[in-house]
Amino acid sequence: MERNRKTISRRWFVIAGLSVGVALIIGGMSGCGTEPLERRGRVVILGFDGVEPTIVDKMLAAGELPNLAGLRKQGNYQRLNTTIPPQSPVAWASFATCKNPGGHGIYDFFRRDPATYIPGQAFGETTLATLAADGSVVKPPASISNRQGRSFWAVADEQGIRSKILNVPFVYPPDRLQHGLMICGLGVPDIRRTTSTSFSISEKYQRIRTNSGVVQVPLRFDGDVAHINIPGPMDTRRATEPNKRAYSAMPVAVTVDRIGDQIAIETEEKSFTLRKGEWSDWIESTYQQTPSYAVHAISRFYLIEVMDGVHLYMTCLQFHPHNPYVSFSWPPEYSAEVADRYGLYKTVGWAYDTHSLRQDVLPETAFLADVKRTMAWRERLTLDEIDKGNFDLLISAWTATDRVAHMFWRFRDRGHALYTPEGAERFGRALEDTYLKMDDIVGKVMGKLSDDDLLLVLSDHGCSTLQVEFNVNTWLVRNGYATLKGQEDRSQAFGTQSFFRDFDWEKTKAYGTGISSIYLNLRGRERNGIVPPEEADALIEEIRQKLMRDVKARLYGAENVAIFKAIYTRHEYTGTAADLAPDLVLAYRKGVKTVKSSAMGIVTKEMFFRSADKWSGDHSANDASDMPGIVFCNRRISGKKPHIVDLGVTALNYLGIKAPPDFEGKALI
Ligand SMILES: [Zn+2]
């Protein structure tokens, strides 16, 4: 334990040093003017990702959300205007910084590197450790955030406000708060440094294969026993060798009892039995990569099937709260303190395994059981932290409301390819059930607040169905704005490689990347840029108009529907990060989205796809005006059209702090 603490403090130092540096630079740029106002009480903000207002309206009308109805009666309920585009990393960054994306630099889930064109995660990344030849640690792994701009709780912290920031999406690494604590949520990767990579372990697989966030691991029984090696974190010593990516393994012995419909699992740390449909407790694993460097993880098993071929699921390998890969709490020891309080807990930011549900690995019932358990856990932490007091500002967030919408919309839209009456009967109210839980949490929090406390409940955007997917890169090729190597007939051209490797950059003027972004191949900005800067605006306008006018598809049973509601340009954004803005930002009509292959730089033969994926609800590339979130407040909100950038300013104001001049939001009360 003593050694663990030492490791934590070294990492703490690295992260803390980074945040202080950034804070100084940004503080210097913004002028950082704050002056005292009257402090009116404490502020509690509860965030629920992706709650759709029209469903909330219906449930309120049916009397199903009594606590939110009470909150509305006490104060206010309105639509919350959100960012362009209405994607979680963008919207939560605007929530934190009270700025449009031009001020924080997050415009999409992905951002491309103009030197390589390769898309990566927009909000940040986690680096590998650097090891010396003898295996000692030269540089520990670190998390890097690409977000610019200070959070409003960092501003409050400078004024002595005590905050508790619990699981707020895309706030990672944690802020170094002088007076507060923080545990990070969405954005914290697994120990493979991916959003989430889980494991499907089955007799039906022939070889190890990774497919979109799920590693398929073959199970071969010799008699009743199978020995498997589950690939864990990347082996740091071999990570830089070309084509030699190797993972440290977790040996597991599986003994099947086919008659008893159960299995026994033996890991290096634990032995236990699992019945079909049962979750294991948390399993700890240690990957000793060198004598002085180990990676620690936790995961859980779930037994899917025994009789019809053993099929076992294991969650992604998550940061161990006692000895995390990179610290995800502030102070660093807070993550361990929480584990000491409640036992091991889910630490990965992408908390619900949508990958495994999509690939028919994890059944709907297991997914929903996990949703229930995880929501309850976060509720417990939140209520306990409120009970403990010692705070002026508390923010806590849940992402289940968004994930259930994404995965279960197919049972609420009769026009979706995967809609079935039986499915609708079983899971048609999965989202409402999640909203009932949200209401319950809100009620419990309300019961703990005093009359002076300000309570805000928000969602960052809404959600709708997903029926049609569009490859904007295929459209750019067909219309002469992009060219694939050696393919002169652009009407037939298509590629197979990801990350734009098929593109002929000498003949490409524009390319689509991420979920809603198009960039010009601009001379002086992109490595092989060909578009002269003086021609950029005219080209942006030409592409915008053509897309708006020409791109039509069958939608909601009607033919030839223009699929774009709006297309924005880089001029939409202002701020110190405006130069990172996409040249065009797509905003589709409800029901349409950019297809994933396009987001990854692949030109498919077909331009349109009828969506037949369990990922059946979406919002991420729709128009912000069609995807508002919700905001409830226990005070009357003055004025109309509250925006997500307003909430932090409202909180600061209530806490008696004038927002810095670079904050764009307005105080709502
Ligand atoms: Zn979402």
Q: Measure 397 CA to ligand 1 centroid, in angstroms.
A: 14
The answer to whether the bond into 218 is cis (omega within 30° of 0) is no
The answer to whether the bond into 321 is cis (omega within 30° of 0) is no
Q: Measure 540 CA to ligand 1 centroid, in angstroms.
A: 28
The answer to whether the bond into 642 is cis (omega within 30° of 0) is no
Tokens of 342: 């409640």
3-class DSSP state of 528: coil
Whose structure tokens read 């995807």?
627
- Give bridge partners of residue 137 from the DSSP assignment: 131
Q: Measure 86 CA to ligand 1 centroid, in angstroms.
A: 9
Q: Measure 621 CA to ligand 1 centroid, in angstroms.
A: 10
Predicted pLDDT at 361: 96
CB 150 within 8 A of CB 166: no
Q: Measure 462 CA to ligand 1 centroid, in angstroms.
A: 8
Write out pLDDT tens, residues 126-136: 999 999 999 99
How far, in whole angstroms, is CA 388 from its chain's centroid? 29
Angle of helix 66-74 versus helix 430-446 axis, rounded to 10: 50
Q: Measure 627 CA to ligand 1 centroid, in angstroms.
A: 11
- Give bridge partners of residue 526 from the DSSP assignment: none
Q: Measure 460 CA to ligand 1 centroid, in angstroms.
A: 9
Q: Measure 515 CA to ligand 1 centroid, in angstroms.
A: 12
Predicted pLDDT at 238: 78
Whose structure tokens read 């913004």?
30
Q: Ligand 1 is a single-atom ion; what residues have CB below 5 A from it? A: 50, 402
Question: Which residues, including other chains, have CB under 8 Å from residue 158's CB and lie 6 or more apart?
Answer: 34, 178
- Give bridge partners of residue 377 from the DSSP assignment: none
Q: Measure 361 CA to ligand 1 centroid, in angstroms.
A: 21
3-class DSSP state of 345: coil
Q: Measure 573 CA to ligand 1 centroid, in angstroms.
A: 22
Q: Measure 205 CA to ligand 1 centroid, in angstroms.
A: 31
Predicted pLDDT at 242: 61
Q: Measure 369 CA to ligand 1 centroid, in angstroms.
A: 20
The pTM of the full predicted model, rounded to 2 decimals, is 0.93
3-class DSSP state of 561: strand
Q: Measure 65 CA to ligand 1 centroid, in angstroms.
A: 22
Q: Measure 597 CA to ligand 1 centroid, in angstroms.
A: 18
Q: Measure 502 CA to ligand 1 centroid, in angstroms.
A: 30
Beta strands in 481-595 (DSSP E): 510-513, 517-520, 552-555, 558-562, 564-569, 584-588, 591-594
Q: Measure 618 CA to ligand 1 centroid, in angstroms.
A: 6
Instruction: Give the residue ranges of the chain where pLDDT is below 70.
Output: 1-36, 240-245
Q: Measure 555 CA to ligand 1 centroid, in angstroms.
A: 21
For residue 77, give the nearest of 62, 94, 65, 88 by alpha carbon.
65
- Per DSSP, helices labelled H in 575-656 are 596-599, 646-654
Q: Measure 213 CA to ligand 1 centroid, in angstroms.
A: 17
Helix or strand holding residue 126 (H, E): strand 124-126
Angle of helix 646-654 versus helix 88-97 axis, rounded to 10: 30
Q: Measure 89 CA to ligand 1 centroid, in angstroms.
A: 9
Backbone angles phi and psi of 367, in degrees to 5 = -60, -45
Q: Measure 596 CA to ligand 1 centroid, in angstroms.
A: 14
Q: Measure 355 CA to ligand 1 centroid, in angstroms.
A: 14
Q: Measure 87 CA to ligand 1 centroid, in angstroms.
A: 7
